[in-house]
Amino acid sequence: MPRRTYKSTAAVKATGPQIFLLAVTLVSVLFVSNAHPQTVDEIFQNFKNAYEKSENFSANFEETTLISNRKNVARGRFIFGKPNLLRKEYVDQNDASKVVQTTVIDGTYAWTYTPILNQVNKMKWNNPNRRELIPGIGASLEDVQANYNMVLVPDEFANPKGIHQIALTPKDHMVNANAKEKLLIWVKSGEWLPVQFGYESELENGTRESAIVALTEIQRDIKIAPDLFKFVVPKDAEVIDLSEN
């Protein structure tokens, strides 16, 4: 399991390994009484309320994955717009100004462009199972409460900073017979920003996979260019159309 880092901020290749992908996100300042310890339902509801009041959310990210003891770290930035808009850019490890892969979700299609290959993958996005994207989770918040059991994970280092870790495990109707899965969300109280997402999976054969997506420089409801979530195929790029699959 990668070392957990809590990157508090001033202001989702994937989430599991879905996009992440991935997520998610967003917030407005809410007053919450501290007269008693908050329950996981109260914390999640604050996060959900903040999300519902936000139109967009952006952040830099560091994505650490561990598959069968093979570690990979990727960095980049993304901006998410409700309900199904995303622009995510992975950058070169040594030069953050150099984009090595771009994913754009325009609400109908997901486009992924890899410059070194001059290749674009196109996939259908607007299907009933993808009603609303949340970076880092890949499902709607309504789905989370219906499909997952939630518990707070005590953390002597994060909790004093107002950061709460929520662990989500699938309910019976969501259980994958071939794998044990868990989603993780770290939420910062006050503005109820998500500062980190995680995913853990163990297959029947013992193969383990985990991912941590830490967020920094988080902003919400910023002014964005109208064409930010529109993808234009680069000249001479090969397009692999998977949208009918």
CATH code where residue 107 lies:
2.50.20.10
Single out the residue of 7, 132, 134, 133 nearest to residue 61, CA to CA.
Answer: 7
Whether residue 3 lies inside any domain: the answer is no
Whether residue 232 lies inside any domain: the answer is yes
pLDDT digits (tens, 9 = 90+) for 90-134: 999 999 999 999 999 998 999 999 999 999 999 998 655 544 455
Q: Give the angle subtended at the CA of 88 by the CAs of 28 and 111, to the nearest 5°.
A: 125
pLDDT digits (tens, 9 = 90+) for 124-173: 986 555 444 555 555 566 677 888 899 999 988 899 999 999 999 888 88
Q: How many domains does the chain have?
A: 1
Whether residue 23 lies inside any domain: the answer is no
Cα torsion 38, 146, 7, 135 to 10°: value is: -150
Whether residue 4 lies inside any domain: the answer is no
Whether residue 194 lies inside any domain: the answer is yes
Single out the residue of 219, 235, 236 nearest to residue 54, CA to CA.
Answer: 219
> Which SS3 state, helix, strand or coil, does residue 180 take?
strand
> Which SS3 state, helix, strand or coil, does residue 132 take?
coil
Model confidence at 73, in pLDDT bands (50, 70, 90)? very high
**Domain span including residue 125:** 40-241
